């Protein structure tokens, strides 16, 4: 089977090669049923995820004692056509609230 004329994003059961039990959708990489020429034909159009910089850490969630801080970042270019998925968009870490009233 060949993907020469068809490369489908996501899981698309209609995107299969005649006379073969293989697929030309980006989901085939997870299931391992890609046609032999999938990578050479379809990955050329693949766009990996791109993310912006991390935002600032939030304040401690607890003014007194153990709490957590969080920060996030945004997707600037979503993945397409089987491109690399996005990395984590949120981070959390522990903190110790030390408000003067504690």
Chain segment 7-32, per-residue pLDDT in tens:
888 888 888 887 778 999 888 988 99
Question: Over the stretch 30-73, which tens digit does the pLDDT of each residue have?
Answer: 899 999 988 888 876 678 899 999 999 999 999 999 999 999 99
Compute the distance between CA of residue 41 and CA of residue 43 in angstroms, rounded to an integer. Answer: 6
pTM beyond cutoff 0.85: no
Residue 17, number of CB atoms within 10 A of its CB: 20
3-state class (DSSP) for residue 43: helix
User: 82: pLDDT confidence band, cut at 50, 70 and 90?
Assistant: low
Predicted pLDDT of residue 21 = 84
Best CA proximity match to 37, nearest among 76, 59, 7, 11:
7
- Map out the domains of the chain with their CATH numbers: 1-45 (no CATH), 50-78+85-98 (2.20.100.10)
Pair of tokens at residue 5: 């004329």
């Amino acid at each position: 089977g060949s993907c020469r004329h068809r490369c489908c994003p996501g899981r698309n059961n209609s995107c299969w090669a005649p006379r073969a039990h293989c697929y030309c959708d980006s989901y085939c990489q997870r299931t391992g049923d890609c046609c032999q020429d999938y990578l050479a034909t379809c990955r050329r159009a693949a766009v990996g995820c791109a993310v912006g910089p991390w935002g600032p850490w939030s304040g401690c969630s607890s003014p007194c004692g153990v709490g957590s801080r969080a920060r996030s970042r945004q997707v600037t270019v979503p993945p397409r056509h089987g491109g690399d998925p996005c990395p984590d968009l949120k981070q959390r870490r522990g903190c110790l609230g030390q408000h003067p009233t504690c």
